[in-house]
Amino acid sequence: MQFTGYSRLGVFLTATLVCTQINAQESYRSEVGIAHATFKFDDIDAKANGIIGRFHFSAVNSNGLPLAESSFLTRTGSASITLVQSETSGHFNTFYNESESSGYRLEFDLRQKDSPNTVAARFGETESDNTSQPINATHNQTVTSFTVGRYFSDTFHVELGFLDININDHVSSGNDINSYSVSTKYIKQFDDSTAYNLEAKLERTSAKDDSSKEENTMLGFEADYYFNHRFNIGGGASFNRGDDQYDEGERLTLITNYFFSPHIGIELQAAQFYAKQAEGTDDESLDLLATLRF
């Protein structure tokens, strides 16, 4: 499930308009974001609210850069924490599902202007109280990931990643998901303030439980066009194939960012998954993020 209400968002944007009048410089050191997400599959509905805090190890000068890409282009490292609460309800197959979850994620991204090498580490944990019938259970999930990368130019980056997810439902001995990935990112800027961003990712995932092990391969692409420093529209597609027929399918994503000023931005992301096999289930999600930089 993707974790990323609207009344809080309105208050956030209204209050921060005052900050824009005071601080007009296009540099920042910290970010605070408010996120809201909805997710639907089968007859299950889920929604989540989160808050994100990020501190950059040096000031990010976004002058003349696409604002959504400024920390990448300036090679600025950061540390962040994300807090999330979510709830799920509805029928899945013959069971009624109702649960509440809370979790956190810590992230450290190490990169410097005078070095082409990058290192990142992330750790997150989620606790869920599930009142589904006929089994009531508490679920615990931990997520750990590491990446190492290198800038081959000011705007081209390649990254290798490892991800480990451990799920313990206190009924079985647990489920483990491991993945290895390689991803690339390239940005091309033009003199008229337009730009485009291209990304690609290849990931191999292995999932195992008490009795089986299944492996899938995912290939994903994303492209974004920046009409100016503040506004971009993009889209992505990913293709999943392998042993786990629940995960086999295609996911299409639409993404847009708009910055009202160098310090206030909003991001909207909509995605639709089309299951390839009858065992799978289509799903759809909508994520909204508002960010204040200062």
Q: With 80 as the cut, is the pLDDT of residue 31 above it?
A: yes
Neighbours of 75 (CB within 10 A): 19
Of 45 and 236, more confident: 236
Residues 6+ apart with CB under 8 A from 194: 225, 226, 227, 228
pLDDT band at 41 (very low <50, low <70, confident <90, very high): confident
Across 72-86, 128-142, 192-206, least confident range: 128-142
Of 5 and 96, more confident: 96
- As beta bridge partners, residue 264 has 261, 292
Is 80 domain-assigned? yes
Determine the average pLDDT of the residues in 109-137.
87
Determine the average pLDDT of the residues in 112-140.
85
Of 77 and 277, more confident: 77
Give the integer Cα–Cα distance in Å for 236 and 20.
32
- 3-state SS assignment for residue 46: strand
Is 79 domain-assigned? yes
Percent pLDDT > 90 in the chain is 69
Of 205 and 43, more confident: 205
Is 1 domain-assigned? no
Token code pair at residue 3: 């974790």
The pLDDT assigned to 12 comes to 41
pLDDT band at 190 (very low <50, low <70, confident <90, very high): very high
φ, ψ for residue 248, nearest 5 deg? -65, 130
Neighbours of 185 (CB within 10 A): 19
Q: Residues 102, 187: contact at Cβ < 8 Å?
A: no
Number of domains in the chain: 1
Give the integer Cα–Cα distance in Å for 176 and 142.
10
Is 64 domain-assigned? yes
Decide the pairing of beta strands 213-226 and 78-92.
unpaired
* pLDDT digit string, tens, across residues 232-287: 999 999 999 998 777 899 999 999 999 999 999 999 999 999 998 777 788 999 99
Element (H, E) at 189: strand 175-189
pLDDT band at 135 (very low <50, low <70, confident <90, very high): low
Q: What is the pTM of this model?
A: 0.85
- As beta bridge partners, residue 26 has none
> If you ran DSSP here, which 8-state letter would residue 67 be given?
G
Nearest to 239 by CA among 279, 276, 286, 198: 276
Q: Residues 142, 155: contact at Cβ < 8 Å?
A: no
Neighbours of 72 (CB within 10 A): 20
Is 183 domain-assigned? yes
The pLDDT assigned to 149 comes to 98
The pLDDT assigned to 116 comes to 97
Element (H, E) at 148: strand 137-153
pLDDT band at 10 (very low <50, low <70, confident <90, very high): very low
Give the integer Cα–Cα distance in Å for 186 and 23.
31
> If you ran DSSP here, which 8-state letter would residue 70 be given?
H
Q: With 70 as the cut, is the pLDDT of residue 56 above it?
A: yes
**CATH at 247:** 2.40.160.40
The pLDDT assigned to 96 comes to 72
Cβ-count burial 56-68 (b if 16+ within 10 Å, e if not): beeebebeebbbb
Domain that holds residue 139: 6-293
The pLDDT assigned to 172 comes to 53
User: CA 242 from chain center: how many Å?
Assistant: 23
Taking the CA atoms of 19, 233, 191 and 221 in sequence, report the sign of the dihedral they define: positive
- 3-state SS assignment for residue 11: helix
Give the integer Cα–Cα distance in Å for 274 and 203.
19
Is 146 domain-assigned? yes
* pLDDT digit string, tens, across residues 91-116: 766 667 788 899 999 999 999 999 99
What residue type is 109 in one-letter code?
A: D
Q: With 50 as the cut, is the pLDDT of residue 123 above it?
A: yes
Is 199 domain-assigned? yes
